[in-house]
Amino acid sequence: LWPWKPLGTTYPPQDELEQKVAERAGKMAERTNLRPIGVIESNHAAGKPVALVCHAPGALQKTHAADGTPLVRGRRVTGFTNSEEDAVGLTQVVPFLVEDMLKANGGLYEKKPDWATHVITDGNLITGQNPGSSEAAAEAVLAMLKQSA
């Protein structure tokens, strides 16, 4: 089990890498708490764009559609790949692998070669594979907003 402590608990870093690892893993865990889940679910139900890139699709772990099924079930999605996580040496550090979680929740996971820009839009759900996909994901959000205006 991941040794989580209550939010607000501080961990003095031993070095710069440890600090970055703690920040990344902590952000993934915080994205799966109830407040972001409610925002994602309500925005999705309202037809508003829901965009997540890199590790952020991890926030979809506990989200559900109006019928109670996982929000990603049957949806085309992407996020940080297992091989990208392995390439940065954090496979054993993060609380879960985004790719595995999306597949386990019934998402139709798609990926391109490591570090390639890759964005998928399925309905109002926009997901990007890695940090290099941020600009393309933002463009997808803007296009969606223009269509709804």
Q: Please name the residue that has the structure tokens 């902590």.
A: 26
64 has catalytic annotation: no
Q: Choose the catalytic residue: 55, 84, 99, 118.
A: 55
Our answer to whether residue 44 is catalytic in this structure is no
**Which of 84, 85, 99, 118 does the annotation list as catalytic?**
85
Is 118 considered catalytic here?
no
The rounded Cα 12 to chain-centroid distance in angstroms is: 26
Query: DSSP string covering 91-125, please?
Result: TTTSSS-HHHHHHHTT-EE---STT---EEEETTE
Beta strand residue intervals within 4-148, DSSP E: 50-53, 76-77, 108-109, 119-122, 125-128
Q: Which residue in the list 54, 84, 99, 118 is annotated as catalytic?
A: 54
CA 9 to chain centre: 23
Structure tokens, 11: 């961990």
Annotated active-site positions, please? 54-55, 85
